[in-house]
Amino acid sequence: MEIYLSGFITLALAHFVALLSPGVDFFIILSNSSKYGKLSGIVTSFGIAIANLVYILLALLGISLIKENENIFLVIKLLGSLYLIYIAFMLLKTKKRELFSKEEIKSKKQKNLIKYFSIGFLSAILNPKNSIFYFTMFSISINSTTPLFVQTFYALWMFIAVLLWDIFIVYLVTSKKSKAFLEKYSNKVEKICGLILLFIASFIIIDSF
């Protein structure tokens, strides 16, 4: 297992750094949690995580089909690294923005759990960046000798990481102290995430030759 440790560390770190940056999913969770309460946010998180799992499995299947061709695999790996660099620069140039409205309105309108789940699922499944991101993640962490059980572990890890992180966000956005912290430091976190992704992508490119 030691020989796959570096690939896992790279995948886990890049994935977690990407999760740290507020994106579409973050604002969907924020909206549902603020308006309809903690339970709605958690169910929304499950919807987002399941949609991510769909893309994770599709990306894993795609990588598995082409990993025997070293030249194609190298090109995809390099393109994936360039995509990480693109994300890094987007994070580095992001300006500070308001995450929360000044007036938080609690809606008394009730929605069923299936609708909360659907909102999260559709928001993630209709985001084309997710498919590109997961394909990139597997291209930099899997090679032609990586066994199926290791690939399965990677997939489960990413799914669980998305789910737990989104649920954690629900608890953050329903706490006044946490919201104040996010509002103050979110932009700094994005800059740090950008630098880390830039380093990871550069290392991958150098290591490919």
pLDDT digits (tens, 9 = 90+) for 24-79: 788 788 878 877 788 888 999 999 999 999 999 988 888 777 766 777 767 777 77
Tokens 């620069």: give the residue.
89
CA distance 55 to 52: 5
CB atoms within 10 A of CB 109: 6
Q: What is the pLDDT of residues 112-164, one digit of tens each?
A: 788 889 988 988 888 777 888 888 888 777 776 778 888 889 889 999 999 99
* pTM for the full predicted model: 0.77
Q: What's the confidence (pLDDT) of residue 73?
A: 67
Residue 163 in contact with residue 45, Cβ under 8 Å?
yes
